[in-house]
């Protein structure tokens, strides 16, 4: 399963990242690469059976702190 994920991300990466690089859009390339890498790592970990903790509790705590509830 993880081989398919790697292959899929490799194909999508080539299709999406190469045009950004060729058009010299460095800021967009950096942002896209960061999100793309994070998504790849999470997908790979999930396919290997690693339990990823939910970010719901920390996000709720941050929102409650900001809103003062």
Q: What are the pLDDT digits (tens) for 37-69?
A: 999 999 999 999 999 999 899 999 999 999 987
2 Cβ contact partners less than 8 Å away, ≥ 6 residues apart = 44, 47, 48
pTM of the model: 0.76
**What's the alpha-carbon Rg for the chain, to the nearest Å?**
17
pLDDT confidence of residue 68: 81
Each residue's pLDDT tens digit, 10-38? 999 999 999 999 999 889 999 999 999 99
pLDDT confidence of residue 2: 84
pLDDT confidence of residue 1: 83
């Amino acid at each position: 399963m993880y081989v398919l994920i790697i292959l899929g991300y490799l194909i999508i990466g080539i299709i999406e990242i190469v045009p950004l690089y060729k058009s010299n859009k460095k800021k967009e390339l950096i942002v896209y690469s960061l999100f793309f890498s994070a998504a790849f790592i999470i997908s790979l970990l999930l396919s290997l059976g690693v339990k990823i903790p939910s970010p719901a509790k920390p996000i709720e705590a941050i929102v409650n702190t900001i809103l003062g509830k």
